[in-house]
Structure 1
Amino acid sequence: MSSGLGGLDRPGAPTSPGTWDERSEPTTGPRSTPTRRTGADPVKALMHRHRDLCERAVDPLEIAAGLEAHGISDRTASRFLHRDVFSLAEEMYARVSRGAEAAPGPAPLATPRARADWILLTLLPGVLCAAAVTALHLTHGQSRLIAAASGALAVTLALRAALSRGPLAPTDRRHPTTARVSWLVGYALLGDGLLRAAATGGPDALPTGAAEDPWPLTTAPVLALTLSCVPAAWCAHLLAVRARRKLSSSRALAEFATSAKPLLLGAFTLYLCALAALLAIATTALDQPSTYPQTLTLGALLFLCLLLTSHGFTHAPVLVLTAAASAEATALAALFAARLPGGAWLATPVQALIDTGGPAAIPTIACGTAALTLLLHATRTLTRASAHATQNQP
């Protein structure tokens, strides 16, 4: 479906005298009975301001979503003598001239379909990560370092490929959060060990990947997160399909938002359950301590970030991921800065958190707070009709 949001008028566009302007109407006060103005067609004036939207739309639902994104509510639609935005959009769609060969009626709203390419690509990161972890356990010395570097590169490339197709693909074909996500996943692999070593005066050497190393690699969380690309993609796909069906049957923006919120929360909960199961399998197979708090909060944060980005909402994920990554980096920097003369006080808050909840308290608090913030943001943005009117399905 082609996006009609690009046809929205720019703020400050001139309007002709006597035409209807919904932005000039008050948004508070009692609702008055709408009456027609003589000598003016308010719907025609609205169509003129959103001409590109109306001409490019392939069905009335796309127009309704575009109007909603521009701030037109059901109450505003009543001033155009329509009961809701959907009814107003149907009139606008019907009145647009599309040539002699245009279809007599709107095309049915298509639902996204699963494709073999993105299904296979979402499997690839987990498979390569499992191979890399196996290589780490079977090699020693310099061979282990080569295996670790090669595995990290292969998994990174596989993640890029997996996130460029399917329901988690961004609308502009690039993820503006890649660097921040890489930091958070890298911290899940190395951060807790480094934080523990720094709190005790280390580290004295680079990590070797051995279990008895004073700076060990926690590979189970990373393995679980890469394996969770599959349930993440399916949960996002399920949300897209169900939301499109709800959008087809809804007749008001508020009605769709009410029905879309349980779908969003259900998909989010389903992903967390799948991630918890994968983490249990990974920790058992690798014989590593459980890391449920920090891994589940990180997984929740990454899933919401990818979900918002795939629907075109990139600003909030960038800000929230930056805050989470900065909190983790600040905790590490404070421990090292405390070694400077007179700087012991810098490590007091971090040391208090470590003494209370261990090194895992830092990423758990940082990612948990960030995930909760994004969840609240998602319940407002991903329950709008404009978020699901067009679905990115490469």
Structure 2
Amino acid sequence: GLRLTEGRPRLIAAAVGALAMALALSAVLRRGPLRAAARTSGTWTCWLVGYALLGDGLLHTALTGGPDALPDGTAGGPWPVAAAPVLALALSCVPAAVGAHLFTTRARRRLTSSRGLADFSASVRPLLLGVFALYTGALAALLALTGAVLGEPAAYPQALTLGALLLLARLLTVHGHAHAATLVLTAAAAAEATALATVFAGRLPGCGFLAAPVEALVAVCGPAGVPAAACGVGALALLAHATRRLTRASAHAHAHGQARVTASRPR
């Protein structure tokens, strides 16, 4: 819609598209295998997705003295917009839901068939890593597809790390470990916001040193280095946490109990 419209119709297309995506994602997260009883802060998730859409373009233009205009919805404008990774992340909710369903159902089966807690943990850990690998592979394919269709770079580093971070955060939340997920999402969003803030603060007289770390990172890795580093470190932390927490029998007994309580509530 952004590519095929101009002026007010472009604003309407952007608003309708954002609303439709928000409603669809809300439905996915409230029903099905990705639903969670615990409430989580969606503010930082929205920031991370918003940065995937606008952040790299803003960082690039800020380092070159801009931005001189608002984003126009294109990848070649004065403030470039990266629609391909955001579209791929939205479509990746399908493999995420499939993976979450497989992980939950198979872990519950092994909960009843395992001979002990150690046996259960040993059997569930490869299942968790397999679901994680399945999702990242599906997201990589979606990034290639959306990049080709929209004529944009696929943005593999920043989108894959962000997708991995969001998937692990949701799995932990579904199984009763929302605190760690929220903490890491907050830290990743804060890192991205700090990177942008230091670049603009570095324009003040005598404050150029503030932007030096971000400038050095961008010189080596490009603008994608900031979200890839922030989300990548967060995803690794959550992966290590998930391999300890989600391979315990208590995590799946908790999730099973929450599902039974939800199903028994009157409508």
Alpha-carbon distance in structure 1 between the residues aligned to 2:162 and 2:75: 23
Alpha-carbon distance in structure 2 between the residues aligned to 1:198 and 1:293: 21
Alpha-carbon distance in structure 2 between the residues aligned to 1:222 and 1:210: 14
TM-score by length of 2: 0.94
Is the aligned partner of 1:369 residue 2:224? no
Question: Counterpart of 1:256 in structure 2: which amino acid?
Answer: F
Q: 1:136: how far off?
A: 1.1
Q: For each residue in 1:148-189, what CA deviation from the matched residue of structure 2 results, as whole angstroms up to 9, or x when unmatched? A: 1221122112211110011111123x3x13111100000000
1:183 pairs, out of 44, 47, 55, with 47
Is the aligned partner of 1:196 residue 2:196? no
Alpha-carbon distance in structure 2 between the residues aligned to 1:356 and 1:299: 23
Match of 1:94 in 2: none
2:222 pairs, out of 353, 358, 362, with 358
Alpha-carbon distance in structure 1 between the residues aligned to 2:27 and 2:122: 34
2:11 pairs, out of 114, 121, 145, with 145
Alpha-carbon distance in structure 2 between the residues aligned to 1:366 and 1:165: 29
Alpha-carbon distance in structure 1 between the residues aligned to 2:105 and 2:27: 23
Q: Give the number of aligned pairs.
A: 258
Match of 2:82 in 1: 218
Q: For each residue in 1:346-389, what CA deviation from the matched residue of structure 2 results, as whole angstroms up to 9, or x when unmatched? A: 00000001111100000000000000000000000000001112
Is the aligned partner of 1:278 residue 2:142? yes
Matches within 5 A, 1:36-55: none
Is the aligned partner of 1:338 residue 2:221? no
Match of 2:29 in 1: 163
Overall identity of the aligned pairs, in %:
63
Alpha-carbon distance in structure 2 between the residues aligned to 1:142 and 1:153: 17
Match of 2:167 in 1: 303
Q: What SS does the aligned partner of 1:388 have?
A: helix
Q: What SS does the aligned partner of 1:138 have?
A: coil
Q: For each residue in 1:77-134, what CA deviation from the matched residue of structure 2 results, as whole angstroms up to 9, or x when unmatched? A: xxxxxxxxxxxxxxxxxxxxxxxxxxxxxxxxxxxxxxxxxxxxxxxxxxxxxxxxxx
Unaligned runs of 5+ in 1: 1-134
Q: For each residue in 1:219-239, what CA deviation from the matched residue of structure 2 results, as whole angstroms up to 9, or x when unmatched? A: 000000000001000000000
Alpha-carbon distance in structure 2 between the residues aligned to 1:342 and 1:191: 25
8 Å contact 2:121–2:248 — kept in the other structure? yes
Question: Counterpart of 2:115 in structure 1: which amino acid?
Answer: R
TM-score by length of 1: 0.64
Q: 1:141: how far off?
A: 1.8
**CA RMSD for the aligned pairs?**
1.1
Alpha-carbon distance in structure 1 between the residues aligned to 2:86 and 2:46: 11
Structure 1 stretches of 4+ moved >6 Å: none
Q: Which has the higher contact order (CA 8 A, sep 6+)?
A: 2
Alpha-carbon distance in structure 2 between the residues aligned to 1:291 and 1:212: 15
